[in-house]
Amino acid sequence: MRIDSKNREIFDLIVPNHQLIEVLSSNFNWFSGVPDSMFTRIIPHLADYHFSPRENHAVAMAFGARIAGAKPCVLLQNSGLGLCLDALIGLQRLYQKGLVLLVTQRGELEWEEIQHQDWGKYTLPLLESINIQVFDYNQLGCDAIMKASDFAYTNEEICVVLLHRGNVDE
């Protein structure tokens, strides 16, 4: 853990942003999602990023892109999982198409705003309950992204790379 400029405890920075962007770009070739503040300095540098007004639409678009041969990655905050579930289960899971979700785990640190706290608590149990594999970026570093890409697109499965506050230079 480290201390940020506002004297708050946050997780360690894993790699500089340019390196994270490089790893994302070499493992995926199609991006969408709904911005989270942790992605502020990442999204503008992703080639082939597709706007979506909601997380569920991003998931559905990624399903279409996968059918056409892309390797998609959808970026979202953990709260967006609440909107995604039906699309994930009714599209990717039902038709056996892979997807990597890059999810920011908001609300797990004590100082984080109250609106994030429940999602911080329930994100992992939720993913476990619907049998979605998680690759933890804080533990595995960039390997989490490579392993997730390999898992999702070899097996045509949904999986999550979980990023923690501080893992990315905001």
Partner 1 sequence: MNRIEAIRQIIDSHPDAAFVLSNGLTSREAGYLFGQNNHLYLLHGMGEALSVAIGLRSVLNNIDVVVVDGDGNALMGLSAWSMLPIQGIYYYVLVNGVYETTGAQPIPCLPDSVHVTKLYIDLGKQNTPNPSLPCETMKKFEAWLNSKMVVKDV
Site of interaction with partner 1 (CB under 8 A): 29-30, 32, 50-54, 56-72, 86-87, 89-91, 94-97
CB of 54 or CB of 147, closer to partner 1? 54
Instruction: Name the minimum Å distance from CB 129 to partner 1.
Output: 18
Alpha carbon distance 137, 110 (integer Å) = 20
Residue (132 or 162) nearer to partner 1, CB:
132
Taking the least distance from each CB to partner 1, the nearer of 11 and 30 is 30
**Pair of tokens at residue 66:** 């996968």
From the number of C-beta atoms within 10 Å of its C-beta (0-12, 13-18, 19+), residue 8 rates as middle
What value, to the nearest 5°, has the Cα angle with vertex 71 and ends 163 and 90? 80
CA atoms 158, 164, 168, 170: torsion sign: positive
CA torsion angle for 87, 90, 92, 93 (degrees, to 10)?
130
Minimum distance of partner 1 from residue 97's CB (angstroms) = 8
Minimum distance from residue 76 beta carbon to partner 1 (Å): 14
Q: Which is nearer to partner 1, 95 or 111 (CB)?
A: 95
- What is the smallest separation between the CB atom of 135 and partner 1, expressed in angstroms? 23
| Beta-ladder partners of 76 | 103
C-beta of residue 151 within 8 angstroms of C-beta of residue 144: no
Q: Which is nearer to partner 1, 72 or 107 (CB)?
A: 72
CB of 55 to partner 1, least distance (A): 11
